[in-house]
Amino acid sequence: MSAWECPFCGRLAVFDSIKKKSDSFYVSGDTKFGPLLFESFVAVCPNQDCKEFTYDTRVSTVKLEGGSYKPVELIERWVNRPNGLYKQFPDYVPKPILDDYKEAVLIKNLSPKASATLSRRCLQGMIRHAWDVKPARLVDEIKAIEGQIESSVWKAIDAVRNIGNIGAHMENDINIIVDVDPGEAEMLIGLLELLIQEWYVEKHERQLRIDAITALAAEKKALKQAK
Ligand SMILES: [Zn+2]
């Protein structure tokens, strides 16, 4: 029995227990691979709190066997959902932040400058939401959280702030579109991923551990008093 890991909630499920749907079609075209078989698969996560679905497509060479077409050799596979390009973060991360992050990733290659603009807006949104700062220019907001956040994380933000055009324009309106190369856009995205992980995911998990310990201690105390 093979295991299936839900890319949305991270839970493992027995492969046979997930709801699957598939469909296929045969293409008789004279391609360099010969005739082709296209197959689509939908899988539904059995976790009641999740119920997300994945969708992928495969194209293979094909043979006729027992009256039906069977895939022989896989040529290519596309994961349509989730889009494998961006990281899946839990939905307790505020939606506007996740939306800007995802869009910044999706358009990174097509338009690095649009991507960098969204990333700067996302960065500012996170600083304002996670830390109590007075709205100002992004550069001042970054300065304002120095000392409040872990110094290695602040250094990473400051390092990105010092890069070429991105840096210059953090001092101006964040919505001004500036020319950046894909490498710079990528660096901003890496920073967003680091901060979402640090400021939301780790914080949330830490709180869960604290709550669990506090609850356990209260339970032990109650048991002791009941004796
Ligand atoms: Zn799931």
pLDDT tens column, 53-74? 989 899 999 999 998 899 999 9
pTM metric for this prediction:
0.62
Cα 97 to ligand 1 centroid, rounded to whole Å: 21
pLDDT at residue 171 above 70?
no
Report CA(34)–ligand 1 centroid distance (Å).
38
Q: Which two tokens stand for residue 179?
A: 């020319």
From 116, 103, 94, 102, select the one nearest 188 (Cα to Cα).
116
**What integer is the mean pLDDT of 125-150?**
90
Higher pLDDT, 167 or 221: 221
Q: State the pLDDT at residue 178.
A: 73
Tell me, in angstroms, the distance from the centre of ligand 1 to residue 185's CA.
Answer: 30
* Higher per-residue confidence, 29 vs 24: 24
Summarised one tens digit per residue, pLDDT across range 99-131 is: 999 999 888 878 888 888 899 889 999 999 999
